[in-house]
Structure 1
Amino acid sequence: MTVSPLSPHDVLGFESTQVIVVGDAMLDRYVDGTVNRISPEAPIPVLQVQRDRSVAGGAANTAMNVAALGAATTLIASWAEDEPGRELERLLAASDVSAVRIARGNAPTIEKLRVVAGQQQIVRVDREDTVDLDEAGRAAVVAAVEQAIRPGVPAAIVISDYAKGLVGSELVEAIMATARDHRIPVVVDPKSSDIRKYRGATIVKPNFAEAIQMARMPASSSPDEATLDVIAERLLVDGVAALAISLSAVGVDLIEGASRTRIPTRARLVSDVSGAGDSMIAGIAVGLASGLTTLQAVQAGNMAAGIACGRPGTAVVTSVDLLNEMLIEVSPDRRPGMVEDWQELARFVAIEKAAGKRVVFANGVFDLLHAGHVALLREARSLGDVLVVGVNSDASTSRLKGPTRPLQPQSDRMAVLDAVRYVDFVTVFEQDTPRELIRTIQPDVIVKGSDYRPDQVVGGDDAKAWGGSVHIVTLLDGVSTTRLAQGQQVRRG
């Protein structure tokens, strides 16, 4: 089956969703340095430490990725009131993750220490106590899930099972019942070898090693078609709607009913696979919550995992990362060009700004596009990284230019501008001036022709309020739509 690439439009709306993550949280510590010699005490490398750092791991990393994609995020997990636990809480709070701590006996905060030379892990040290959550703890988790659900807000639930004691079968069953009552999709990152533990899930996402273990197949099995057919037959049990099997560099196999779809992964240099599964789960969950189909949500998750693999350590993937990746993958005819919805356009502009890009705005009627228009657009684009063009609507043009204008309808004028290589986004405004549009997208630079003085440029004062500026472009002499139109009338005569 051929898979159509995601459109960048598909990531819009993530910020209007919520995701509740339940699972095993942990703190990942890294000691980074260089190795230049072998110890004289034993045949081991000597690490010259350059820095120490901490990141959220496990279910906490999933929650951080969800929050980075724009969704309101609640993490329900267990950690202790110890130093690693306080560090974990600090990291979560800094990422706008609402955290609910559930006591799991006297278990300390799960901590993983990775020692890294260059970009190569040379040792990992784990500290953990996997005591099971008791009945009171299970009740507290379910109550926290119920309390976190916001009526009327599109949502998804993630069960992040790292087999560290929190996510038992009874808890999973209770969460699934709550999700059914609220009609909320559930995404599972599994560790149990029994797929039946996750009955009720919308998507279960094992990696290939986990999948063959669940399917009771030999560890030496390879991810060929025959093996995947057996996995599909054994794991797609009643109550599990879909499987998304991660095949590392090959991509993801999505299994729904009798259909199987291979979603490829873009080739890239892999730096570290730590946390890539968390990034994938986050992308799937936010995608489902925002209304994407199962296939589209898994595509978003696969893309997020690929980005994470290209970064050292446990990584967080943002909506900016996802949008940029989509713009790389989609063909030009699928990229957003003409965007009439201002709020949608404002979200695109905000994402571009978050990526550090400078946004330039120009406006006009652009009736019979001519060399003067192109010169203005070329110079405008040179002032930044993204050029947004606002076009007067047909009614606005008639009020401005008279009843015989425009010569071309707004749809044609927008389509022509969209084809100009200097232009990134084209929109339309019905008002006599673009002031409301400018206030909505808040560009860094407003460009006008030299028939205006800087103090006459609409929106200039507004732009100064948010740190923007006005730039005046020298117009070409003797070139205008009016003269072109008059010339055509003369020739027709």
Structure 2
Amino acid sequence: MDLAALQALLAHVPGKRVACVGDLMVDRFVYGSVSRVSPEAPIPVLARQRELKMLGGAGNVARNVAALGGSVALVGLVGGDAEGQDAARLVGEARPAIDGYLVTDAGRPTTLKTRFISGGQQLLRVDLEESRPVTGEVEQRLIGTIRDAARGASVILISDYGKGVVTDAVIAAARETAAATGAKVIVDSKARAFARYGEIDLVKPNAAELSYATDLPTGTDAELEAAIARALELWATRGVLVTRAGKGVSLGLRGEAVRHFRTTAREVFDASGAGDTALAALGLALAAEADLESAIAFAQLASGVAVGKAGTATVGASELVEAVLSAHSAHAEGKVATAQRMVEEVARWRAQGLRVGFTNGCFDILHKGHVAYLAQARTWCDRLIVGVNSDASVRALKGEGRPVNDLESRALVLAGLRSVDLVAPFDEATPVKLIEAARPDVLVKGADYSEDQVVGGDLVKSWGGEVKLAEIVDGYSTTAAIARMTRAQADKEQA
């Protein structure tokens, strides 16, 4: 997701409301230091220093919705115990972003996960839970609560950790409420019995869960596509969104081919809670009226940030913007290539049946005319290479005092443009050597040249390529920009 699309989506998030129904937990983190082994057994001794409690499970989904700028109605179950009081307190502290609809069952404990941590590593996790399905009067209270909580929500998220809250009757209540209000229903489930969710909009298993549920392998794209097709035969859901860790996600909708959405590999510090973050971001984006592809990109971005953080951490809007800016910078650097890597990239593109274009210039001070020119050049090909003169080459062509910006700056700015796929610097007066190495299908130059004046044009035509002349935006040039700056500086000095 690029920065403009992200900012446009985030601008629509405030005021959007989702409902989240599922297994509410309390996550307890006990931090300390380990400096010795117990004399009683070969185990480390943790010297406790501090502890932290936060909402987990469906509560973590709600926390992430709130952190991203939305509002959420959280429907969950707590016990009549101290942990239940902790959950109620944590929900209350998050108001008004999180509106708590908590049902108490005095006959069961609040789900509590306690993690003991030293030096950034988990030593042990202790779970307190009861997974029997809710029944009777408690189940009826949950059903009634769903109807109240879903008022004003355009998306209902079901977070099913298999702890007993998401019964068939609770699922039916969520579906009926959605049908009455027009809300979408999205399920993230660890229960693996996906058919029970019925006619919902989207179910979100991971690749291992999909394999288990369909009894089919999911390692390759082809295997995954077959498993999704089988899932859509077995389940009534309208769509299946499969998370595949470093391979991205894959989406299967009824009557449509499976689409694969790759993701940028990120260093994983702690994967716990990343699925909750993805569910929250996906639901909130759809509530903000984003299309499904944009919502998936938003969820991928958010979960990618989450895995770089410790514990069941939330992800905020500013962190997403920062992640896009960082990725864009790294991506731009990766688009600046030597002639040898250019040849390798061209070979890879050609293997995919892509049409390669080439253009060149000094691009000393990038302006509106350059951007329009490169955008038009990109319409004539699938991948566009820009050859850019080195500093010495610019100086030889333009004289002393040029370039204004050095090669690194010019190359990175060009690489940051969406229309540019690769930037290849060259030292010579002309880019003929690069053109011979790249063997482009189309060579682009400005319309201020005639076709017979385009350097390398005859070469490109000799192997069946073509020469295109792009329109020039009047009034914009580097020379003119320098002249304006020079006049402005002179006027300032005279004043």
TM-score, normalised to structure 2, is 0.63
Q: How does 1:292-307 map to 2 (within 5 A)?
A: 292-307=290-305
**2:230 maps to which residue?**
234
**CA distances 1:303-345 after superposition (whole Å, capped 9, x unpaired):** 1111111011111111222232233445899xxxx9xxxxxxx
TM-superposed deviation, 1:14: 0.9
**1:33 maps to which residue?**
32
State the alpha-carbon separation in 1 of the partners of residues 80 and 106 from structure 2. 12
Q: Which has the larger radius of gyration?
A: 2
Aligned length, in residue pairs: 339
Does residue 260 of structure 2 align to residue 262 of structure 1? yes
**2:50 maps to which residue?**
51
**1:95 maps to which residue?**
94
The correspondence for 2:220, drawn from 210, 221, 224, is 224
Q: Is the 8 A contact 1:249 1:265 kept in 2?
A: yes
**1:186 maps to which residue?**
185
**1:285 maps to which residue?**
283
TM-superposed deviation, 1:12: 1.6
**CA distances 1:176-209 after superposition (whole Å, capped 9, x unpaired):** 1210111101111112322211222222111222
State the alpha-carbon separation in 2 of the partners of residues 184 and 157 from structure 1. 7
Aligned-pair identity (%): 31
Q: How does 1:227-376 map to 2 (within 5 A)?
A: 227-237=223-233, 239-257=236-254, 258-329=256-327
> What are the ranges of 5 or more consecutive residues in structure 2 without an aligned counterpart?
333-367, 369-472, 482-487
TM-superposed deviation, 1:37: 2.8
Q: Is the 8 A contact 1:104 1:131 kept in 2?
A: no
**2:121 maps to which residue?**
120
Flag the 1:175–1:150 CA change in 2: closer, same or farther, 3 A: closer
> What are the ranges of 5 or more consecutive residues in structure 1 without an aligned counterpart?
339-411, 421-474, 484-493
TM-superposed deviation, 1:4: 7.6
**1:451 maps to which residue?**
none
State the alpha-carbon separation in 1 of the partners of residues 145 and 218 from structure 2. 41
State the alpha-carbon separation in 1 of the partners of residues 33 and 247 from structure 2. 32
Q: Is the 8 A contact 1:107 1:131 kept in 2?
A: no
SS at match of 1:285: helix
Flag the 1:99–1:477 CA change in 2: closer, same or farther, 3 A: same
State the alpha-carbon separation in 1 of the partners of residues 149 and 105 from structure 2. 20
TM-superposed deviation, 1:25: 0.4
Q: Is the 8 A contact 2:80 2:106 kept in 1?
A: no
TM-superposed deviation, 1:240: 1.2
**2:150 maps to which residue?**
149
Tell me the amino acid that sits aligned with residue 74 of structure 1. Answer: A
SS at match of 1:102: strand
Q: Is the 8 A contact 2:238 2:253 kept in 1?
A: yes
TM-superposed deviation, 1:222: 5.2
**CA distances 1:358-404 after superposition (whole Å, capped 9, x unpaired):** xxxxxxxxxxxxxxxxxxxxxxxxxxxxxxxxxxxxxxxxxxxxxxx
Q: Is the 8 A contact 1:27 1:88 kept in 2?
A: yes
**2:21 maps to which residue?**
22
Tell me the amino acid that sits aligned with residue 269 of structure 2. Answer: S
Tell me the amino acid that sits aligned with residue 191 of structure 2. Answer: S
TM-superposed deviation, 1:478: 2.7
Q: Is the 8 A contact 1:8 1:327 kept in 2?
A: no
**1:402 maps to which residue?**
none
**1:161 maps to which residue?**
160
**CA distances 1:222-257 after superposition (whole Å, capped 9, x unpaired):** 521232023211212463122221112222222223
Q: Is the 8 A contact 1:104 1:132 kept in 2?
A: no
**1:478 maps to which residue?**
491
State the alpha-carbon separation in 2 of the partners of residues 294 and 91 from structure 1. 32
SS at match of 1:100: strand
SS at match of 1:103: strand
**1:404 maps to which residue?**
none
**CA distances 1:117-162 after superposition (whole Å, capped 9, x unpaired):** 21221211000112321133333223222222345xx621110101
TM-score, normalised to structure 1, is 0.63
TM-superposed deviation, 1:213: 1.5
Q: Is the 8 A contact 1:77 1:101 kept in 2?
A: yes
Tell me the amino acid that sits aligned with residue 225 of structure 2. Answer: D
State the alpha-carbon separation in 1 of the partners of residues 6 and 139 from structure 2. 40
